[in-house]
Chain A
Amino acid sequence: MNINTVIGPVERFLEDHGKRVGFLILLPLFLFLWLPIIVVAFMSFADSVLVFPPENFTLEFYHIFLDNSQAWSAIFTSLQVSLVATPIAVALAIMYSYAFSKYDFPGKGVITVLIAFPLVVPLIVVGIALTLLFGMFGGTGSYWEVVIAHVVRILPFAALIILPSFLSFDTTLEEASKDLGANSITTFRRVTLPNILPGVIAGGLLAFTMSFNEFVYTYFVRGTGMETLPVYLWGRIEHTMSPEINVISIVFLAVALLMVAVAVLITDVERIAIR
């Protein structure tokens, strides 16, 4: 009874002003999420990042970035890795999800745990473990070692997004196709794939984004040879503060924006957000 006299007015207040309370909660949280990103974008036009507010604004550091061959080579290295790792991870995720949704097989539970395992072990642990493995075979962070590391990193996420589209898919359509004489490959291509495509694309876009942003595995595995954009950025930050680093940050932001925009155009936000 006693507690109700305290809670009662609060309850009534919430009942009446829910919308306003919600706004008051949401506003600071979204400011917290976005202010740092806005600061980065703003400071990319500054003549120095060491003092806020900056004295002068300039596009100089955009020019410096455009002429920075090391940064561009890092971008191309990133693309070479991500554009190969993503289709491999997506193909594996599709095959796995297809089997998972269709068949019961021994060890299904164990395999589910295995797929989630990279998610419950800290990145740095798998990063160094991979380094030890490749080191034993004389690896020095070759291209394929970095690609494998990326596939391992993004596969669980691709699988977690793609699997639900198989599970929610009406399998009687596949049976109908087979009854009408199509073989399994034709059925998969003409019936299954178009139905799961939004999920596959969402999974692929997330996988690509994660690979493009991937740092920890690459940092440990790469040896001296491979420098992806995040690894290059890390090396730069350790030495200096420069508006050019903010310009490079804008590249990452643009890639994220582009990927999210494509994802939203093709599928719905909920699908790319919720795994």
Chain B
Amino acid sequence: MATKTEQSTINEYSQSVLKYIRDRPRLRVLLLVGPTVGLLVAFVIVPVLIMLWYAFLTGLPPADYTLENFARIFDPLYLGIIWDTFLIATGTTIFTVALGYTLAYSMVRFSTKTTVLLLLVILPFWTNYIVRMYAWINILQADGVLNWALNSVGIVEGSQRFMFSHEAVLVGLIYVWLPLAVLPFYASIKTMDEDLIEAAKDLGAGPLKAFFTVTLPMTKNGIYAGLILVAVPAFGAFVTPALLGGTGSVMIGMVIDNQFNQAFNWNFGAALGVFLTLVVLASLLLAVLAGVEDKILKRPETEGET
């Protein structure tokens, strides 16, 4: 138990510490931001650099340096997988962005129960990823829901093979990332100034024209955000292709998992990780540059119109 004098000494002490910190704004910022930055540097940046280092080694350190791991990526087997990954990830991104934007737009413009709908979008998003994939196994498997439904309507006869295909992986990935894409789209459409649409309509534009000339350009930042949020995980996916694609549709993330957990070739796994990171960062850079370019090109035109 602290006595009264001890208590007041502690108070005085903490007061003087507070004053010391108050008089030093830089120290204050350091104390506030330092832990977050330290954590991210130590457990994101440093690990990624270590991964880069491993990618150039012949084995676990200490080991010799080599370019062998990167050369192996260009083996036709892996090139094929990389191409499939690219196709599936691009397809996922295009479909998810299109569907997500449609969904977000319809929610904002056509519905009065936006709050309820928003809830219905985030609940699947807050549900486990593996659970959502398992749901699709229930649907796509040989005697699953889809085959039953198609048979009862009479579209197909007998059990069709839906699992273990590119299409199954594509549907699974679109399903998983659709809610995540809807949110930035929703935010940008919701917060945009609706008077501009009214103005466009007053000036004679119909809903379609108003959409393409006003809404779409105004919500561009939201579209980029959604694009990035979907494209990054789609390129790196390994749970979905493992469960829905199996050997029928292998993606690069599955190969990385394999190298780590089955083949125990950490160096090749690291090289594939570096490669994947570079591909994703390059795609993002391209998207950003395309966006910037777009803005620069658009400017004289809009100035001409006003």
Contacts and interface: CB of A to CB of B under 8 A. Distances in A.
Interface string A33-77: 111110110010000011111000000000000000000000000
A43 B32 contact: no
A35 B184 CA distance: 23
B187 interface: yes
A213 B130 CA distance: 9
Given A34-B124, A92-B35, A131 B260 contact: yes
Contact of B131 (A124, A129, A249): A249
B267 to A, nearest CB: 10
B111 interface: yes
B134 A95 contact: no
Contact of A213 (B128, B134, B148, B277): B128
B124 A33 contact: yes
B236 interface: yes
A270 B277 CA distance: 32
A274 B239 contact: no
B136 interface: yes
Interface string B13-56: 00100100010011011011101110111011111101100100
A148 interface: yes
Contact of B110 (A25, A122, A136, A185): A25
Given A18-B207, A122-B232, A124-B256, A152 B43 contact: yes
A222 to B, nearest CB: 11
B277 A121 contact: yes
B197 interface: no
Q: Interface centre among A35, A36, A256, by most B CB within 10 Å?
A: A36
B284 to A, nearest CB: 6
Interface in B93-117: 99, 102-103, 106-107, 109-111, 115, 117
Given A25-B106, A230-B128, A7 B209 contact: yes
Contacts of A120: 228, 232, 280-281, 284
B35 A14 contact: no
Nearest to A272: B122
B162 interface: no
* Majority-rule SS of A interface residues: helix
A186 to B, nearest CB: 10
B274 to A, nearest CB: 8
B183 A259 contact: no
Contacts of B130: 215, 230, 233-234, 237
B47 A126 contact: yes
Interface in A140-186: 148-149, 151-152, 155, 159, 183-185
Nearest to A131: B260
A125 interface: yes
Given A129-B50, A245-B134, A273 B123 contact: no
B245 interface: no
B79 interface: no
B33 A122 contact: no
Interface in B256-281: 256-257, 260, 266, 269-270, 273, 276-277, 280-281
A121 B280 contact: yes
Nearest to B54: A132
Interface of B: 15, 18, 22, 25-26, 28-29, 31-33, 35-37, 39-41, 43-48, 50-51, 54, 61, 99, 102-103, 106-107, 109-111, 115, 117-124, 126-132, 134-139, 141, 143-145, 147-148, 175, 178-179, 183-184, 186-187, 190, 206-209, 228-229, 232-233, 235-236, 238-239, 243, 253, 256-257, 260, 266, 269-270, 273, 276-277, 280-281, 284
9 contacts: A30-B120, A39-B139, A99-B29, A117-B44, A122-B235, A133-B43, A230-B128, A234-B130, A270-B118
